Chain A
Amino acid sequence: MNEQAVIRTQGLTRYFGARPAVYELNLEVPRGGVFALLGRNGSGKTTTIRMLLGLLAPTRGGGTILGYDIRALPPEARARIGYLTEEHQLYGWMSVRETGDFQSRFYPAWNEKIFRGIIGHFGLRPTALVKSLSRGERAGLCLALTLAPEPELLILDDPAIGLDPVARRSLIESMVFLTRRSDRTIFFSSHQLPDVERVADYIAVLDHSVLRACCPLETFRNSIRQVRLRFPGTPPPLPKIPGLLQAVRSEGELRVTCVHYTGATEAALRGLGPTEMEPALITLEDAFISYLGDRGEKSFILSETEA
């Protein structure tokens, strides 16, 4: 067993009714570094995280987290894993300080300075009741509770959801701060691509319950290329290109987005006889959207689209 993998899954599958929410997931998360799990809503990110933490039983398959079987996580495993849930759920009737006191009694390694630091950073009053906190303030409190025990592995399920930009920035700052220790790993799911771009070392992409990508961030970005071809008139129909994500045809222009742009791809495109062929620069967000968006060809040519 590779000691460097903090999370490892084998054929992890979960069905809800007749539909698989996560299908045959084989994932390995290396120790140290920041790992982002991306995917559209409903692609299985939260389900995966819940299974990893032993809160939901897999239909089949399994995995290990910090070397422990996910189906039977002992308390000592839970002491080393921090988990921030999507909904930032807490007990509304407790105050901020009481929540901190409550949580601290469970963890021998509780670091009160970190807790107070994050609380202060988010500007939370210790006597404020949790139910009176805003979404962002609750997120800050949850973050403080999760980071204070100084966990080895931090799992965050969509931590930035509902946060204002200032709170989101505080969140990423905390994540960057955490990377000071190289034995700490962060595993988080997110829709905030700018944040992912800032902090992630590796990403994995879930598409309709299936893993479609798992690589360093730059590899992903570099794998996706957009090429702009100019034609004198209507662009010709596109041949079959492996790795094609999207093609947009408009008057005089054909824009092709594809994965793994090889010499063969280039040759195929050149074979269409364009007057110009330019690889265009693409942002991470556009790359991601093309990757997970609708596949295929779109036409914006009047003569072809008018009924």
Chain B
Amino acid sequence: MNLSIAINTGSATPIYKQITDQVRLAVATRKLAVGDQLPSVRALAEELVVNPNTVARAYTDLAREGLIESRAGRGVFVTRKRKMFTREEGRRRLEPLLEGVIGEAMVMDFTQEELREAFEKKLSQCQWNFKKGAEPNNE
């Protein structure tokens, strides 16, 4: 389990959302593979020093998205991603993330070209489990 989650208090993002975001990112960046076990609610709560109910809620949200599932008696595991969102919803979720990246880069005085370069580099670096092509996923 090489899941390292760091949470900030005093952020505009609630803690449970920080957890879900980071789990999602970990899955996306292949830090977490399908079938990997996540720490139990209690263990993660004690590690992050947060209320277990917060962790429980994050896990509930992730389960509802279909990213993880709880197996009775065994723990919480990453599952095969099932499509939970419509394309529209997906785009809507992507939008602010893109804005964030672009905005940050602008503030740091990167040019559009430099940003695009960095982006491409990142894409090729990581082992993305992307669907090839532009067809919608049918699973």
| Chains A, B in direct contact (C-beta < 8 Å) | yes
Binds A, one of B8-16, B70-78, B101-109: B8-16
Asked if B6 is an interface residue, CB under 8 A from chain A, the answer is no
User: Could you say which of B48-56, B79-87, B124-132 contacts chain A?
Assistant: B48-56
Q: Are A176 and B51 in contact (CB under 8 A)?
A: yes
A53 within 8 Å of B by Cβ? no
**Which of A34, A197, A218 sits near B10, CB closer than 8 Å?**
A197
Secondary structure at the A interface, as helix, strand, loop or mixed, is: helix
B9 to A, closest residue via Cβ: A194
Task: Point out which of A197, A281, A282 has the most chain B C-beta atoms below 10 A from its C-beta.
Answer: A197
A176 contacts B53, C-beta separation under 8 Å: no
Cβ–Cβ contact B42 & A180, under 8 A: yes
Q: Is the CB of B50 within 8 A of A194?
A: no
| Interface presence of B65 (CB below 8 A) | no
Q: Contact: A179 with B12, CB < 8 Å?
A: no
A77 lies within 8 A of chain B by Cβ? no
- A283:B11 contact, CB within 8 angstroms: yes
Q: Count residues of chain B with CB under 8 A from any CB of chain A.
A: 17
Taking CB atoms and an 8 Å cut-off, the chain B residues in 26-60 that contact chain A are 42, 45-46, 49-54
Contact of B12 among A173, A194, A282 (CB under 8 A): A282
A221 touching B14 in the complex, CB below 8 Å, given contacts A176-B51, A179-B51, A198-B50: yes
- Interface size, chain A (Cβ < 8 Å): 24
Chain A residues with CB under 8 A of B11: 283
Q: Which interface residue of A169, A173, A199, A201 has the most chain B CB atoms within 10 A? A: A199
Q: Which of B9, B10, B42, B46 contacts A173 (CB 8 A)?
A: B46
Chain B residues, CB < 8 A from A282 = 12
Q: Which of A173-227 contact B (CB under 8 A)?
A: 173, 176-177, 179-180, 193-195, 197-201, 218, 221
Interfacial chain A residues near B42, Cβ < 8 Å: 180
- Residues from chain B with a CB closer than 8 A to the CB of A281 are 12-13
Chain A, residues 270-283, CB within 8 Å of chain B (1/0): the string is 00000000000111
**Which residues of the other chain, B, contact A33 by a CB distance below 8 angstroms?**
53
- Complex Cα–Cα for A218 and B58 (A): 13
How far apart are A30's CB and chain B's nearest CB, in angstroms? 12
- Tell me the complex Cα distance, A141–B14, Å: 33
Find out whether the CB atom of A283 lies under 8 angstroms from the CB atom of B49.
Answer: no
Query: Shortest beta-carbon distance, B57 to chain A, in Å?
Result: 8
CB pair A200 B51 closer than 8 Å: yes
Among A34, A179, A200, A282, which residue has the most Cβ atoms of chain B within 10 A?
Answer: A179
Contact B14 A176 (CB under 8 A): no
Complex: how many Å from CA A284 to CA B7? 14
Instruction: Give the interface of B toward A (CB within 8 A).
Output: 9-16, 42, 45-46, 49-54
User: Can you offer 8 A-B residue contacts whose CB atoms are under 8 A?
Assistant: A169-B49, A172-B49, A179-B52, A193-B9, A197-B10, A198-B49, A199-B49, A218-B16
